[in-house]
Amino acid sequence: MARIIDGKLVSQAVKDGVKEQVSLLNSKGVSVTLAVIIVGDDPASRIYVNNKKKACEATGIISREYALPADTSLEELLALIEKLNNDSEVNGILCQLPLPEGLDEKAVITAISPEKDVDAFNAVNTGHIMIGDYTFLPCTPAGITEMLDYYDIPVRGKHCVVIGRSNIVGKPMAMLLLKRDGTVTICHSKTENLADITRQADILVAAVGRAKFVSADMVKEGAVVIDVGMNRDADGKLCGDVDFEAVEKKASFITPVPGGVGPMTIATLMKNTVIAAKLQNGLL
């Protein structure tokens, strides 16, 4: 039976550290401010933004919300980003995705200053991740590495399999595991004989967005299983990409959904915002 990797526990440890850092910066006359832009009224996006605001409040980070109507033009959105780029009191800028149809996400991500890109989506920051010389890391992959560290799970020399190749999770996750001397295989929807590959994984990261996609017969005995998914099953119950009940019996460690990777994403966002404040004030 697997040991549960408690994302709430680890995220609290990260946020406690952030709170200490914010307090230290405040004592030097430096405030830490995160600007969050939300366009439209997507319910899931609103929940995410509210959770980020709560995390800011808990860690002492100042939160500024910019809620724009769904019919906001790209020009208006880019003008706001430019204003925030030039605002010395704003350390981090986050534009909640997805954007309403018709708005160019790539243009929006590109417009955010790399020094304030606390999501680490800008091509400059993703390029730094590729060469292993980075300031910010995408929040979900960075949160996963925090969890591995907290539970003393080694990566060096291990076969790490990542299912999913998104720019937000799959690709950067592979780069972070590679930097830690893991041997990394990236799988995706076109991968043939997927189960043959996943059964070789010492560390398996599932980020495909399909409910209970990873079954027990796809997992090696004693593997570490990280579930990034956030889905609804046939009964409408929240679940991940992994069939938790079945896989838990074979894995050595496993993340639950909810309460696993999710809390780490927001905790790492707070950490990135503090790093941005230090960078902009010559303290890094």
Dihedral angle at the C-alpha atoms of 265, 49, 112, 283, nearest 10 degrees? -60
Specify which residues 225 forms β-bridges with: 204, 254
- State how far the Cα of 64 lies from the Cα of 36, in Å rounded to an integer: 6
- In one-letter notation, the amino acid at residue 206 is A
Does residue 119 have an active-site annotation? yes
Residue 104 annotated among the catalytic residues of the structure? no
Give backbone dihedrals phi and psi of 170, rounded to 5 degrees, phi first: -55, -55
| Ranges of each domain in the chain | 29-113, 139-262
CA distances from 85 to 34, 80, 89, 120, 235 (A): 12, 9, 10, 15, 44
- Give the 3-state secondary structure of residue 10: helix
Which tokens in the block code for residue 105? 């996400």
Catalytic entry in 96, 116, 202, 243: 96
Fold of 29-113: Rossmann fold (3.40.50)
**Measuring CA to CA, how many Å separate 109 from each of 54, 113, 268?**
24, 9, 19
Give the number of other CB atoms < 10 A from CB of residue 40. 18
Q: Given 15, 21, 117, 119, which residue is catalytic? A: 119
Q: Cα separation of 165 and 254, whole Å? A: 21
- In angstroms, the Cα distances linking 50 to 38, 67, 96, 256, 269 are 11, 12, 11, 22, 14
CA–CA separation, 263 and 240 (whole Å): 14
Q: What is the pLDDT of residue 187?
A: 98
Each residue's pLDDT, cut to its tens digit, for the chain (284 residues) gives: 999 999 999 999 999 999 999 999 999 999 999 999 999 998 889 999 999 999 999 999 999 999 999 999 999 999 999 999 999 999 999 999 999 999 999 999 999 999 999 999 999 999 999 999 999 999 999 999 999 999 999 999 999 999 999 999 999 999 999 999 999 999 999 999 999 999 999 999 999 999 999 999 999 999 999 999 999 888 889 999 999 999 999 999 999 999 999 999 999 999 999 999 999 999 98
Query: Do residues 215 and 182 touch, judged by C-beta distance below 8 A?
Result: no
Q: Catalytic one among 15, 21, 52, 280?
A: 52
Sheet holding 92-95, edge to edge: 62-68, 33-39, 92-95
Domain 139-262: CATH class, spelled out: alpha beta
Q: What's the rounded Cα separation, in Å, for the pair 16 and 100?
A: 35
Predicted confidence at residue 280, as pLDDT, reads 97
Could you confirm whether 96 is annotated as catalytic?
yes
Is residue 204 classed as helix, strand or coil in its secondary structure?
strand
